[in-house]
Amino acid sequence: MKAYREPIEVTPSRGQPIAIRWRHRTYRVEKILDFWIAQNKWWDREEKRIYLLLQTDHSTMEIYRVGNSWTLSRLVD
């Protein structure tokens, strides 16, 4: 698993991601494997991250959301 921490675009349907756009490529979400919430002080400000572990048509991705912004956290090739 490799860490990236890069912004991504997420296409939702009924509140769940169905596609991820990263580095000019679209990944179709096949299954949500796990999810969890992490809330802590991040550089002296409270931050709530909603994490999802996803199986896509090309790989397994760990992504998270802070507010309306999505980030690719880690990727399994």
Model confidence band, residue 46 (pLDDT cutoffs 50, 70, 90):
confident
Distance CA 43, CA 31 (A): 33
At residue 42, the pLDDT reads 61
pTM, full prediction: 0.89
- Residue among 59, 75, 47, 65 at smallest CA distance from 10: 65
Number of neighbours of residue 27 by Cβ within 10 angstroms: 20
